[in-house]
Amino acid sequence: MKSDIKPDVCVIGLGYIGLPTAAVVARAGCRVHGVDVTQGVVDTINRGEIHIEEVDLDGLVQGVVQRGLLRASTEMAPADVFIIAVPTPFGENHVPDISHVLAAGEAVAKVLKPGDCVILESTSPVGTTEQLRDLIAARRPDLKCPGLTAETPDVSIAYCPERVLPGKILEELTGNDRSIGGITPRCARKALAFYKRFVRGTCVTTDARSAEMTKLVENAFRDVNIAFANELSIVADRMGLDVWEVIRLANRHPRVNILTPGPGVGGHCIAVDPWFIVHGAPEDTPLIRTARGVNDGKIGHVVDRAEALIAAHPGEAVACLGLAFKANIDDFRESPARAVAARLARAHGSRIRVVEPYASALPREFEGTGATLVDIDTALETCGVLIVLVDHDAFKAVPVAERAAHAVYDTRGIWLDQPKAGTVTGRDGLRLAS
């Protein structure tokens, strides 16, 4: 792969990471072949459209498809660089499931040729890149694989995790620093040369195992810190304190930066990745495991407080504001907001109205509950109780005059100007706006 010749690139998995990556690489001038197992996804992309919500991605994909730089298929094709961006969920007992990575490796092995570079981007347990290498070596004994030969290997294999934030993916794909872990230093240099084509951030090379662990550590760090904020909010509720006020004041300390409490931690990364570390070292990870428990347990706490507020307002309709796992995105995976709303819908049926600007219908678990999807205006007009579960801009924009008369439970702290009218009840300090 000479640096003046643009490599052909194959991106396997065209989801939240793979599709933006494919589009950005194509924009850098490489011909990109995208592979996905879902025919509908492939067809959508080949029409120049997208199947996910992400800022500015629609225009970018349309442009690179029109220019013939990005083409999608359900079939693998030969390329110079292969980027694997498939899901790595966990199975029973939080055991990491790398079957999609290995399936991608099987497919890549069939078309691999000397000089190619295979890069794994999926969040993976430590050692996965080596497993991928072993699989390729087993399928292709004709190719010398890195770390298994004293000679110069025929192919390069590296791990390079993405660290982009949904909602800012395009900006962060090019702007963030990257850790690039090679099976050997030579592999890392090969992958580095590729990323330099489109990454403006600093690319730091390391070994594959360190890069794998780095990715897990980043998300576990955030999970532990969010757990601290969530635990504080539970303690503050019990003591009748306003957690937002306490955090606001504590964060004025120059070395304190407490994150924001919420209804729990959602998405497909922070709620999942810490388990990969726990699985790798179960005896040595009490803190990481406990943080997971605190964040998962926050859902039950929010349901209990919502129930108390609903009970205090008999006959009033209740609006659950938001289903997404975080603000301003259409991603409902592992969403605590969705879990809370669904539990309230099962308990209170048609009293529950859900507002989610990013959904056209309620998810399946709401079927038969009687709960309905309404817009924010309808919710404000028809519901006496408002439960804020997601900090969407559309909710933040509701002026205090339009909600001052509602009973509000704001799990995200977006309406700190809400009148503190009504009573403070119970030891958990639940405020009931009159």
Smallest gap from residue 21 Cβ to ligand SAJ (A)? 12
Residue 82 is encoded by which pair of tokens? 């292969």
Residue 18 touches ligand SAJ, criterion: CB under 6 A: no
Q: How far is the CB of 341 from ligand SAJ (least distance, A)?
A: 14
Single-letter code of the amino acid located at 348? H
Residue 392 as a binder of ligand SAJ (CB under 6 A): the answer is: no
Nearest residue (CB) to ligand SAJ, 20 versus 166: 166
Nearest distance from C-beta of residue 385 to ligand SAJ, angstroms: 22
**SS3 letters across 348-375:** HHHHEEEECCCCCCCCHHHCCCCCEECC
**Buried/exposed 243-263: b ≥16 CB within 10 Å, e otherwise:** bbebbeeeeeeeeeebbebbb
Asked if 51 touches ligand SAJ (CB under 6 A), the answer is no
**For residues 54 and 80, which CB has a smaller minimum distance to ligand SAJ in the complex?**
54
Closest distance to ligand SAJ from the beta carbon of 151 (Å) = 36
* Burial category of 199 from C-beta neighbours within 10 Å (exposed 0-12, middle 13-18, buried 19 and up): buried
Write out the two tokens for 234.
Answer: 């539970």
To which H or E segment does residue 388 belong?
strand 383-388
Return the range that interacts with ligand SAJ (CB under 6 A); candidates 76-84, 215-223, 300-308, 374-382.
215-223
Residue 30 catalytic? no
CA 152 to chain centre: 38
Choose, by CB under 6 A, the member of 7, 105, 267, 413 that binds ligand SAJ.
267
From CA 268, how far away is CA 333, in angstroms rounded?
Answer: 7
Residue 222 lies near ligand SAJ (rule: CB under 6 A) = yes
Q: What's the min distance (Å) between Cβ of 242 and ligand SAJ? A: 17
The amino acid at residue 190 is K
| Residue reference for tokens 């792969």 | 1
Q: Binding of ligand SAJ at residue 218 (CB under 6 A)? A: yes
| Least separation in angstroms between CB 96 and ligand SAJ | 14
Please report whether residue 325 would count as binding ligand SAJ according to CB under 6 A. yes
Of 190, 215, 298, 326, the active-site residue reads: 215
Closest C-alpha among 266, 351, 356, 338 to residue 307: 351
> Contacting ligand SAJ (CB under 6 A), which of 226, 309, 321, 385?
226
Alpha-carbon distances, residue 257 vs 50, 229, 254, 413 (angstroms):
37, 10, 8, 16
What are residue 385's DSSP bridge partners? Answer: 318, 407
- Catalytic-labelled residue, pool 30, 117, 203, 269: 269
Q: What are the CA-CA distances from residue 25 to residues 10, 20, 281, 398 (Å)?
A: 10, 9, 36, 40
13 contacts ligand SAJ (rule: CB under 6 A): no
Pick from 169, 107, 115: nearest CA to 146: 115
Known catalytic membership, residue 2 = no
Cβ atoms of 231 and 294 closer than 8 Å: yes
Task: Decide whether 225 or 425 has the Cβ nearer to ligand SAJ.
Answer: 225
34 or 262: CB nearest ligand SAJ:
262
Rounded CA Rg of the chain = 24
Query: Quick one: tokens of 251?
Result: 């964060």
> Quick one: 165 or 397, whose CB is closer to ligand SAJ?
165
Other residues' Cβ atoms within 10 Å of the Cβ of residue 278? 18
**Is residue 326 part of the contact set for ligand SAJ (CB under 6 A)?**
yes
The contact pattern for ligand SAJ, residues 243-262, with x = CB under 6 A and - = no contact, is ----------------xx-x
CA angle at 111 for the pair 124 and 210, rounded to the nearest 5°: 25
Query: What pairs with residue 425 in β-bridges?
Result: 430
Give the count of residues interacting with ligand SAJ (CB under 6 A): 20
> Minimum distance between the CB of residue 16 and ligand SAJ, rounded to whole angstroms?
8
Nearest CB to ligand SAJ, comparing residues 205 and 295: 295
Write out the binding residues for ligand SAJ, residues 106-165 only, by CB under 6 A. 123, 162-165
> At closest approach, how far in Å is the CB of 370 from ligand SAJ?
27
Catalytic annotation, residues: 215, 269
Residues that bind ligand SAJ (CB under 6 A): 123, 162-166, 218-219, 222, 226, 259-260, 262, 265-267, 269-270, 325-326
